[in-house]
Amino acid sequence: MPKYKLTYFDVKGLGEGIRMILSYMEADWEEVRIERPQLPTSPWQKLKAGVKYHKLPVLEIDGKEVYQSSAICRYLASEAGLLGRNPWENLQIDIIEGTFKDFIVELQRAFGQQPEPWLDEAAKAERMRSVKEEAIPYYFKIYDDSVKGNNGYLAIGKLTWVDFYVIGFTETIEIATGEKIYEKYQNLNELKNRIYSIPSVKKWIDKRPESI
């Protein structure tokens, strides 16, 4: 069995779905968490220059580095039986993942993670309002309806990597925005509970470090 090493920030974010899939697989894995990457004293400031594409997460598979959260999840899914059964089903999975990335872009803009120094506080507040009152209701209704129409999962009527990908990030969204997403979207909440009750995943949930 391959040995995996995940390097990501000390948040759930785009790394948590990967952590959950590795746990689901009962893989041999370890992780490196980088705290407070925005600070000049953070290890990330030195590490970044040596990381291809200058972005995390990075997953090492028997010492070989691979990049991009979605690509990593798809690869692990191919090892864990979490892909679709044919190209059409994989397309349905990718559609959900694509809409989720659209939402993440809006979230990042609200938190100023894309450099826009000309924005004043009022403009930043308006972006956050837009995320809470427009983006979250729009996108999470899509996901909630998808779960309702797909036998309790986000796509193709069975557990796939995109379930871990979305559920893994959503806790971060709740903490960052203060929105109680799982209280408002019951089908999505049931999916979260279903995933968290998988024995190998529950083992990870019970021991994982506290983070946003």
Please name the residue that has the structure tokens 């995109």.
Answer: 162
| CATH class assigned to 3-81+199-207 | alpha beta
According to the model, what pLDDT value does residue 88 have? 99
- What distance lies between CA 164 and its chain's CA centroid? 7
Burial annotation 146-167 (CB, 10 A radius, 16+ → b, else e): bbeebeebbbbeebbbbbbbbb
**CATH (residue range 87-196):** 1.20.1050.10
- Average pLDDT, consecutive stretches of 10 residues, N- to C-terminus, the chain (212 residues): 96 98 98 89 88 95 98 99 99 99 92 62 87 98 99 99 98 95 98 99 97 91
Q: Give the CA angle between residues 31, 96, 6 to the nearest 5°.
A: 10
73: closest CA among 37, 101, 54, 34? 101
pTM of structure: 0.94
Structure tokens at 86: 């044919």
What residue spans define the domains of the chain? 3-81+199-207, 87-196
196: closest CA among 23, 36, 70, 2? 23
